Amino acid sequence: MLSFLKNLMGNKPTAKEVQEQVQEESILSASDTAQSHQEEGQVQDASSGVITTLSLHKSWEDKLSQQEKYSLSFMAQELTPLQVGKISLAGTALVPHDEGIEVTAFIRNSSDEPVHLNETKLVILFGDQELFTRQTFDLSEIGEIPPRSARPWSFVFDREHFLKVDVLLANWKIAFELAEKKMVLPQQLELEESWIKALSEEQKTYLIQLAKNLPALKEGEVNIQSVQLSRSSEGDLHIMLLIRNGSAQSLSFEKLPLALFDASGDKVAEGLFELDGLTVNANTSKPWVFIFPPSSILKEAPDLSRWKVSVPQGA
């Protein structure tokens, strides 16, 4: 921390100097990295995003002079505005350290809730996004980061973790390294006993091939695939969906809200379906038919040449 602060010298940097000093940011959705709880009180948005204001940990608060706090506050507000709901690392300084290198960065929270960060792996990249080092840090030590704020922190990367030696750390960047989710293909088709009896061999073969040929899911992802739509003589819409479970555990559905959209993107029908504990086993796909009665249909004469069914936002 002291190495970085010596460069401030109690002076207010210009906006141009701030932009030149701050490295490319590593930005994530707040939900990817943080545990948050609701708190009232918000900072106004800039026209192009959220301006983060300075938030100091007590350990920094006690060591800094008023001049240094003022300079950091100015830097925090001159950082590029963030989209709402993001967590970012904005590196500001990289200097030698007895144990390796010391990197100072602003941890920025543009969400409307305070966040608590946990143990996280960070990396240093240089040049053309080449990996220099990676190390795990306990970010809970940073404390609660208030809504729409930027908290400075220093990270010491130990020499023993360096992957390169005698390199020029130009165009460097500190970034989060989150484990990439594996891709899962729930190829195994699962049929209820009533479906096994009711479907022809041709229909079963079609569903099996469909489950095999659909794009893979991210590990843990669950989605629904639209399969078939028909209208009954009574005006009901019968829709077959394939529920795809890319997680490593079985899922049980009691209720499922669904909305039907036509080729123009208009909502045609919406309903809440009682499934009474319908189970889809891990890494499998299960077909199911959902019936929208006439009372749930919202649009007359929809264009169903193309259609899709999805879970309504906020459901």
pLDDT tier, 275 (very low <50, low <70, confident <90, very high otherwise)? very high
Residue 183 confidence (pLDDT) above 90: no
Instruction: Please tell me the predicted confidence (pLDDT) of residue 108.
Output: 92
Q: Is the pLDDT of residue 201 over 60?
A: yes
What is the per-residue pLDDT for 30?
A: 58
Dihedral pair phi/psi, residue 75, rounded to 5°: -60, -45
* HSE of 108, CA atoms in CB hemisphere, 13 A: 33
What's the whole-number mean pLDDT along residues 260-289? 93
Rounded to the nearest 5 percent, the helix, strand and coil shares of the chain are: 20, 45, 35
Q: Average the pLDDT over 198-209 and give the result.
A: 90
- In this predicted structure, what is the pLDDT of residue 287? 95
Q: At residue 166, does pLDDT exceed 70? A: yes
Mean pLDDT score, 138-164:
92
Mean pLDDT value of segment 308-312: 90
Rounded to an integer, the average pLDDT of 170-189 is 76
Give the CA distances from residue 305 to residues 115, 145, 169, 265, 299, in Å, rounded to whole numbers and listed in that order: 45, 49, 56, 12, 15
For the chain, how many residues are written?
315
| pLDDT, tens digit, 9 for 90 and up, residues 15-56 | 444 344 444 566 666 555 444 333 322 333 334 588 999 999
Q: What is the pLDDT of residue 78?
A: 86
Q: Which of 145, 9, 14, 18 is nearest to 65 (CA)?
A: 9
- Mean pLDDT across 203-225: 87
pLDDT-derived band at 156, boundaries 50, 70, 90 = very high
60-109 pLDDT tens trace: 988 888 998 998 898 888 888 988 888 899 998 899 999 999 999 999 99
Q: Residue 33's pLDDT is what?
A: 47
Residue 131 confidence (pLDDT) above 70: yes
Q: For 38-52, 75-89, 218-232, 292-306, which range has the lowest pLDDT when averaged over its residues?
A: 38-52
pLDDT of residue 314: 60
Taking residues 133-159, what's their average pLDDT?
93
Indicate the domain borders of the chain: 2-176, 183-310
Q: What is the pLDDT of residue 235?
A: 92
Tokens of 148: 């729409």
- pLDDT at position 258 is 95
Cα–Cα dist 195/189, whole Å: 12
Whether pLDDT at 228 is above 50: yes
Q: Which of 116-120, 132-136, 166-170 has the lowest mean pLDDT?
A: 166-170
Judged by average pLDDT, the poorest of 20-24, 155-159, 297-301, 306-310 is 20-24
pLDDT band at 234 (very low <50, low <70, confident <90, very high): very high
Percent of the chain residues topping a pLDDT of 70: 81
Taking domain 183-310, whether its CATH number is 1.20.950 is answered by no
Q: What is the DSSP letter of 239?
A: E
